[in-house]
Amino acid sequence: MLRRRDWFFERIEEFSEDDGAALLWCLPWDGERSLELRQLDPWFIEVCRRVRLYADCQGRITAKSVGSKSARIAAKDLRGNVSDPWIPINHEKDFAAYNSQPSYQVVSEVLFDKKKWLRPLLLEWHDGIDKLPMWARFDVTVRGQGTTKGQHLREVPIDSQRRRAFLFDSVERDKIAQIAAGMVKDAGTLKSPILKTALLTLVKGGVTNVRLDDRTADWIEQWLTSADKRIEEIFFERLFQCRETGHDQLWGVFLRRVASEIFEAAARTVPVAGVRRLNSVLTKSA
């Protein structure tokens, strides 16, 4: 960060270059006025609640909190994009900051899709500082409307020079971005319509004209979730293997095995009458 302080001003020109505020809890706040970016150092650390700690007459530490009528920073229109060195920025959503679960679909785009995402400073390679093995780490608290939607962690290991090139060599990055997009598309097709249709057919007892928007679909959601979990666990290892070996069919082989195993597990547990269960399994096999 010390080497690349200019990186922040390239993205947010309004920051103060010399005397901007950095530790915002050290400044008085009446709860009504917000700070402008031009008053801040690009490495500022925000405080968003009016809370103070103090010692009472017996030496006990007590917290005191009061409400506020405005945000501490006047940056609502920036949608979280205030040049934090660890937050990806989405080109396709008006340069909004990353705010989602780190699924394989989203993480693969952040890592490889130059057109859709601007990677943060700390997700770039820095000669003389970074070394292998390394991990691309996504540690995310997903925001909601006045709440949070959970803490999520994902790490993608980069343990060889070849895999380092996948992230930091422009040509290699474009090639693996194309492979990743195809794998994500294939995984989506596996879940729906392929697996979803088979599971609906199972639940319906073998009828051949099932609808994907059938309310019965709620009953099979656990199986689609199980399939997605299997994909999540191995996506990046398979992605790297496909690029390293040139054997793109490895992904299709894996997806077919997942579909078969998920369907067989569902056939053993879904509450379908005996004759109907056999009929639906035979329909699927045919």
- Distance (Å, whole) CA 90 – CA 79: 10
Amino acid 228: pLDDT: 95
Amino acid 161: pLDDT: 97
pTM: 0.83
In the structure, what pLDDT confidence band is assigned to residue 210 with cuts at 50, 70 and 90? Answer: low
Checking if the pLDDT of 34 tops 90, the result is yes
Amino acid 62: pLDDT: 92
Domain positions in the chain are 1-76, 86-168, 178-285
Backbone angles phi, psi at 113, to 5 degrees: -90, 100
In the structure, what pLDDT confidence band is assigned to residue 215 with cuts at 50, 70 and 90? Answer: low
pLDDT digits (tens, 9 = 90+) for 54-108: 898 898 999 989 999 999 999 988 888 888 899 999 999 888 899 889 999 999 9
Q: Hey, how many other C-beta atoms are within 10 angstroms of the C-beta on 258? A: 21
Over the chain, what is the mean pLDDT?
88
Q: Hey, how many other C-beta atoms are within 10 angstroms of the C-beta on 34? A: 15
3-state secondary structure of 24: helix
Amino acid 275: pLDDT: 40
pLDDT digits (tens, 9 = 90+) for 135-187: 999 999 877 776 777 889 999 999 999 999 999 999 999 999 999 999 999 99
Sign for the CA dihedral angle at 65, 68, 73, 78 comes to: positive
Contact between 158 and 169 (Cβ < 8 Å): no
